[in-house]
Chain A
């Protein structure tokens, strides 16, 4: 199952090769052309049936947050830095996979018996942590690991049959969920327009892959697919969960990186209502997406982010509803079928 293979693949920002492999294997024979650019983006092209010069780009990013090894100390412990935004509080006692061989290590923690209350009430900063790979000397560690090796959380994907609505758990749903949706969209093509599905790199460190991919493709409109913040856990006050599981794909009118083009937002809403697909609005102003880079390419590209709600992103284990994922595919497919140059003719 594609989401499983995508979720399990090793791919922190700047080191997406293994995810790229999964993506290319899934789409190579379903598109008319495919290339990999200088930042590692997979740029695919599927010709349209009606409007050959009207280009629509749909993006999803392949990279996940992770780590890089900075220093091997005299005890053979690996010191590390973070790639992308990770809350230090999710790190202690987690398992990671390191380097090209994906060897396992653990983020070690002082036994609680030996801590005092003051210590237990403080957040440990990541630069006071170290990864233990089970060696006891610097020399032995240096035979196995290099300074600069990448690492990711070690989490296995699982379908959860625990509720009436099927859920799944795994790492990196931000944005392997988006990649899974995009692969489905490719399988359901062709579309009326000239379709440019792009699997980007380095979104988590500044939307960098999307920036150059958009410059190259220069579409007339763009949709950015994400696995996004879903903060619907228990709460005291009556406040926004940003998105909620079970409410369908989340449309972003605005986030920190982009104000969505109103015409595309309108099209998504009209499509959802006409097709009876549940949808929600993502809480404005939270997070950034590839749309932030795409919409500023050259003379500008009307863009909108559409996301699968995903709990616990940027932490080791995420959770999503497969129903939400399915509805995101449904909404995007139906919307793309309605994407014609007319959509952008008004202002």
Chain B
């Protein structure tokens, strides 16, 4: 799977401009689904039909990554930016941005009044090597995403946009390996998750599934003084979400995931995330309510250029999904 993951994370695709990621995924799943469509908000939805005896299951992983949008170009050609999604200046300053037309820029930082302060967004700018507004190759409204190629460190993979290209990779691999299932499975590669779960809202409305599972990243508690005290650790298997900042997993869905993991001897951990949420939150309150849960891949340094996770966790996540889909759901 590493090749697929690498291609996915290194593709340019901030929220609202996912077309290149969508094209890549369309290529990867060509011939594997019974029906494929792209909806009004840019969700890519691939349906693999079951034998008719099961449920309508929606799996959702988002294609978009956090990024930036040009908000102003000054007289000297320096570019001001606005965040797309939860961008932390501390994590991105002095890194690189790629714009849609291929222009690369360096993220510079103005002098801070107090050097120890965390920089606010207004202090950032992008240096694209221009000397004036007129010769600047980007303009107001242009989208950009961060630049960082994937590498392996130990048994772990690190790159930008693991959130949530890793989820997309898991869905692609699951679709590749899914032999037969009682369920009609809708593989939804969603758009605009990072700016408010927008693709999942409209995607779920269109699919109207019986149950929805998001596949996304969650925080890790296994580093020195982690941002948030959590029980989750890399290499301990996929995390089954109990609660995050936006929702509680529907209890029977969570239990179904736990039962399946235990029955198939797949390692798993339970996850309570204080801040942050996933497509599952949007799916759960669609129409008259849809039971929803989330399979999480424990990830260090989320929303930085070096999101780091365990390859064995990824493989076990695929195993868990396949085990869940291959049998009827007994609730």
Contacts and interface: CB of A to CB of B under 8 A. Distances in A.
A/B contact in complex, CB under 8 angstroms: yes
A272 to B, nearest CB: 14
Interface in B28-81: 38-42, 69-72, 74-76, 80
Contact of A253 (B19, B74, B141, B192): B141
Given A253-B69, A284-B141, A300 B40 contact: yes
B205 interface: yes
B83 A298 contact: no
Contact of B202 (A262, A281, A299): A299
Nearest to B192: A259
Interface string A253-278: 11000011010010000000000000
Interface string A283-303: 111000000000110111110
Contacts of A302: 40-41
Contacts of A300: 39-41, 199, 202, 205-206
A165 interface: no
A238 interface: yes
Interface in B1-45: 15-17, 19, 22, 38-42
Contacts of A301: 40
Most chain B beta-carbon contacts within 10 A, residue among A251, A259, A347: A259
Interface residues of A, number: 22
B83 A299 contact: no
B80 A262 contact: no
B88 interface: no
B104 to A, nearest CB: 20
A121 interface: no
A344 to B, nearest CB: 8
A239 B202 contact: no
A254 B16 contact: yes
A296 B198 contact: yes
A55 B141 CA distance: 27
A25 to B, nearest CB: 35
A284 B140 contact: yes
Nearest to A269: B141
A281 B42 contact: no
Contact of A298 (B15, B17, B80, B205): B205
Contacts of A285: 69, 71, 82-83
B40 A284 contact: no
A137 interface: no
B195 interface: yes
Nearest to A283: B71
A228 to B, nearest CB: 14
A309 to B, nearest CB: 14
Greatest chain B CB density within 10 A among A283, A284, A347 is at A284
Interface string A51-90: 0000000000000000000000000000000000000000
Contacts of A125: none
A7 B205 CA distance: 38
B201 interface: yes
A260 B15 CA distance: 11
A240 interface: yes
Interface string B172-205: 0000000000000000000010010011011001
Nearest to A280: B140
Max count, chain B CB within 10 A of own CB: residue among A240, A295, A296, A300 = A300
B202 to A, nearest CB: 4
Nearest to A302: B40
A254 B195 CA distance: 11
A299 B69 contact: no
A329 to B, nearest CB: 23
B239 interface: no
Contacts of A259: 15-16, 84, 192, 195
A224 to B, nearest CB: 16
A120 B17 CA distance: 49
A270 to B, nearest CB: 15
A281 B140 contact: yes
Interface string A238-257: 11100000000001011000
12 contacts: A239-B72, A239-B74, A240-B80, A240-B140, A253-B141, A254-B69, A283-B140, A284-B70, A284-B82, A296-B202, A299-B40, A300-B41
Interface of B: 15-17, 19, 22, 38-42, 69-72, 74-76, 80, 82-84, 139-141, 192, 195, 198-199, 201-202, 205-206
Interface of A: 238-240, 251, 253-254, 259-260, 262, 265, 281, 283-285, 295-296, 298-302, 347
Closest 9 CB pairs of A and B: A259-B16, A300-B202, A285-B82, A300-B40, A240-B72, A253-B141, A300-B41, A238-B74, A299-B206
Given A238-B76, A259-B192, A285-B82, 19 more contacts: A239-B80, A240-B72, A251-B141, A253-B69, A253-B140, A254-B82, A262-B17, A281-B140, A281-B141, A284-B69, A284-B70, A295-B41, A296-B202, A298-B202, A299-B205, A300-B39, A300-B40, A300-B199, A347-B42
